[in-house]
Amino acid sequence: MGRIGVAVIGAGGENIATGCHLPALKHVPEMELRLLHDVNEEGVRRTAQTYGVDWTTNFEDVLTRDDIDLVQICSPDPFHASQSVAALDAGKHVLCQKPLALSVEELESMSVAAVRSEGQFQGCQHRRYEAWARASHAAIQRGDIGEPVYGRFQVKGRFYPYPQDSFYRTAESGGQFVHNGMHYVDVLCYLMDTLPVEVFARSARHYPTADRLESDNYLSCMTKMENGAQAWIELNLMMVDPPLTPAEERVIIIGTQGTLRLGNEDNPNFEAFTPGGSVRTRVNPLIHVANPFVLQFREFAHTILTGRPNAIPFHFSARVMETCLAAVESAGTGEPVKLRDWLERGVQ
């Protein structure tokens, strides 16, 4: 294989495909954008003109074209699982936007496809490629804070202003923790090098204005991790302010020897307090650094081209996704939910 031929699904409007994936692909020399897909013909044609590539409204075209090696799935959430399965079954590699699935059954079907396919699969868990996350990960791997035993990711703000007829406003979407929760859970699991085994969550709702979703907009999710650590993820979108989407994010990792903390409110800081001293940077993690999409795409390209191990194996992403689904389930039933071991299902 020379360059990896890429098709991007969902490229017909202003969204994560056109806002993040396509711009990032320009900086990924291992990949070549060849085809865009969307059911919105006018939109996808316009995007294709901008990028000078082919377009289609027929997903089958993506599967049958031999020059497409990697399918980047940025379609609306309900299509992620079925399109991933179809692409994997067609022997394609897949990079799928979050959420990977809207149910555990969908995740199951993806795991079966991932096992039988020659294609590699990755979830778009790009937030772990942000500068602060990579710096934190490196510090933890070096042993700067000892063993991480507690992790926390708190998000506060308002929900993204979806159009009134948006799927993401409906209860069927699973709510904002299904749609976005993967990022927060993934970053904690990546930093702490472990996965949740059990989830307990509570949810609530308060919409400060007349504009609202059908689902709860607050979720507090406590987890027990495989290695005995604990974690807490809180997504609070009930706020009048901060008025941004997303708004305030705070991360703390407590280790046996030190603590890492990031806060993007006030002065964005990344701080590490270790027995060897403290490190404090005042770099806004969201600017002045390499694009996290580019970093994930390039790392995935090397896996595809050289057979290097997949940096975000399917079993890892599946557990992260299942954590989000389980959190919503737990908030509904009031009972803790135990998670599956996807590795046992033969999925790497």
Site for other proteins, rule CB under 8 A: 145-147, 149-150, 152, 156, 198, 200, 202, 204, 206, 208, 218, 220, 222, 224, 228-230, 232, 234, 236, 238-241, 243, 252, 254-259, 261, 265, 273-275, 278, 334-336
Nearer to other proteins, 84 or 330 (CB): 330
The distance of closest approach from Cβ of residue 341 to other proteins in the complex, given in angstroms and rounded to an integer, is: 18
The distance of closest approach from Cβ of residue 267 to other proteins in the complex, given in angstroms and rounded to an integer, is: 13
User: Distance between CA atoms of 202 and 332, rounded to whole angstroms?
Assistant: 8
The distance of closest approach from Cβ of residue 273 to other proteins in the complex, given in angstroms and rounded to an integer, is: 4
Nearer to other proteins, 261 or 345 (CB): 261
> Quick one: residue 35, left, alpha or beta (phi over 0 = left, psi -120 to 50 = alpha)?
beta
Tokens linked to 56: 């289609």
List phi, psi (to 5°) of 321.
-65, -45
Nearer to other proteins, 236 or 264 (CB): 236
Nearer to other proteins, 117 or 217 (CB): 217
Nearer to other proteins, 99 or 157 (CB): 157
User: Distance between CA atoms of 63 and 42, rounded to whole angstroms?
Assistant: 21
Nearer to other proteins, 28 or 254 (CB): 254
8 A C-beta contact, residue 127 and residue 101: no
List phi, psi (to 5°) of 123.
-80, 150
Chain-centre distance of CA 323, in angstroms?
13
The distance of closest approach from Cβ of residue 136 to other proteins in the complex, given in angstroms and rounded to an integer, is: 14
DSSP string, 212-225: --SS-SEEEEEEEE
The distance of closest approach from Cβ of residue 238 to other proteins in the complex, given in angstroms and rounded to an integer, is: 7
User: Distance between CA atoms of 252 and 151, rounded to whole angstroms?
Assistant: 6
User: Distance between CA atoms of 347 and 95, rounded to whole angstroms?
Assistant: 16
The distance of closest approach from Cβ of residue 280 to other proteins in the complex, given in angstroms and rounded to an integer, is: 10
DSSP string, 95-125: EEPSPS-SSHHHHHHHHHHHHH-SS-EEE--
Q: Which residue has the tokens 């409906």?
A: 170
The β-bridge relationship of strands 70-73 and 4-9 is parallel
The distance of closest approach from Cβ of residue 227 to other proteins in the complex, given in angstroms and rounded to an integer, is: 10
> Which of 177, 184, 176, 179 shows the shortest CA–CA distance to 159?
176
Nearer to other proteins, 60 or 265 (CB): 265
The distance of closest approach from Cβ of residue 132 to other proteins in the complex, given in angstroms and rounded to an integer, is: 17
User: Distance between CA atoms of 6 and 34, rounded to whole angstroms?
Assistant: 6
Nearer to other proteins, 112 or 197 (CB): 197
Nearer to other proteins, 97 or 330 (CB): 330
Tokens linked to 278: 């403290």
User: Coil, strand or helix: which one is 170?
Assistant: coil
The distance of closest approach from Cβ of residue 342 to other proteins in the complex, given in angstroms and rounded to an integer, is: 22
8 A C-beta contact, residue 293 and residue 121: no
